[in-house]
Structures are given as structure tokens and as C-alpha cells.
Structure 1
Amino acid sequence: MADDREESLEKRRAQLEAELATKRVEAKVDEANEARAEVSRKGYAQAMKLSSEFIAAIIVGAVLGYLLDRFVGTAPWGLIVLLLLGFCAGVLNVLRSAGVVAHPLDDKDDKK
């Protein structure tokens, strides 16, 4: 009877070890999937940030140009010029955020 009990416990231990091994493999797969999802979320967040900065600069330029034309009476030149300046500012903001162009304050901080 002791041998049967010992064999039963040994079978149960082997079965539990096998289940634990499969759970560990599944956990590693889940961790890998989560890591890939995290990279994807970071890329999406960066894309949203860059696009919103670009669009905001264009909208600000257009609104300021419209208001300038409205109050000064230079229609449509204020809108055209400030819209182009907004576009250029948007491109510059995107390049700075992407790390292609250095921020203007970076040079001054290095000299101090």
C-alpha cells in the first residue's frame, strides 16, 4: 500500500511538473506578445504626437493669418504668408521631435 501511494504521488508530481512546464512556456509567449504590443503602442503614440504638432502649427498659422487679414484688410496675403509660416513651423517641430534637428536651447546649455 505504501508503494502504491508512493507511485501515485510520484505520478502526480510528474504530472504537475509537466503542467508547470507548459504554463512557463505559455507565460514566456505571453511576455513576448506583450513586449511586441508595447513597442507598437509606443510607435502609435509617437505618430499621434508628431501629427498633432504638425496640424496644430498649421491651424495656428491659418487662424492668425485670417485674423490679420480681417483686422488689417490685407486679404488674402496675411492668410497665405502665415499659413506657409505655420507649415514651416510644423515641419520644424516634427523634425525636432523626431530628433533630426537639434533644439535651439541645446547649444546654449552645452557652453555653460
Structure 2
Amino acid sequence: MANDEFEARRDRLQRTLSEREAAERAEAERANTSALAGYAAAFRLSTEFISAIAVGVVIGFALDWWLGTTPWLAIAFLMLGFVAGVLNVLRSAGLIQSPQPGKRPPAR
């Protein structure tokens, strides 16, 4: 009789332990997925920012070379690229709305 009770209790504990281990694995998987999503978003935002600055500098140098105004247009377009990069990051992060009404996200 005592053996049957111990075996029933052991089976019940084994089931509980299995359920908790499965829940812990699922939680760890969710945490890992959200961390990877965060890294991906950070990489995307930094890429948008740096590419806007690079495009501004390239356009500025090209115009300087063409018009012979070195380095003034490169400096001006560097600043414009910086501003464009900041605006792109803010739009992507959802902190400001897109200027085009059709592309605006729904209000929260």
C-alpha cells in the first residue's frame, strides 16, 4: 500500500517537474527571440542613420567637385544627411509620424 502511494506521488511530481521545465524552456525561447529582435532593430536604425550621413557627404563632395566650391557643399550636405538620418531613426522608432498621410501608422 505504501509503495503504491509513493509511486503515485513520484509520478505526480514527475509530471509537475516536466510541465515546469517545458514552461521554463518556452520562456527562455521567448526571451531569446525578443533579444534578437531588439538587436535587429538597433542594427537597422544605426544602418539607416549612417547611410543617410554617407549619402549626404557623397552628394556634397560630388557637387563640390562639379561646382568647384570645396568644402562648403560637402559640409552643408553632411549636416543635411545628419538631420535626415535623425528623422529616419525617429520615424522608424515610431516617435514621430511620417509626413505622408497614407503611410502613417494608426494612432495609439
SS at structure 2 position matched to 1:89: helix
Give the drift of 1:16: 4.0
CA RMSD of aligned residues (A): 2.3
Q: What is the CA deviation profile of residues 69-90 of structure 1, one whole-angstrom value per residue up to 9, with x for unaligned ones? A: 1111110011001111000000
With normalisation by structure 1, the TM-score equals 0.78
Aligned to 1:3: none
Compare the two structures and name the one with the higher helix fraction: 1
1:88 corresponds to which residue? 83
Matching of residue 60 in structure 1 with residue 55 in structure 2: yes
Matches within 5 A, 1:1-112: 15-106=10-101
The one-letter amino acid of 1:85's match is: L
- Look up the equivalent residue of 1:27 and give its one-letter code: A
5+ residue gaps, structure 2, are none
Aligned-residue sequence identity (percent) comes to: 42
Q: Normalising by structure 2, what TM-score?
A: 0.81
Task: Say how many residue pairs are matched.
Answer: 104
Q: Secondary structure at the match of 2:49?
A: helix
Deviation string 1:21-67 (CA, Å, 9 cap, x unpaired) is 21111011111111111221121111111110000000000111111
Larger radius of gyration: 1
Unmatched 5+ residue regions in structure 1? Answer: 1-6
Runs of 4+ in 1 over 2 A off after TM superposition: 7-21, 106-109
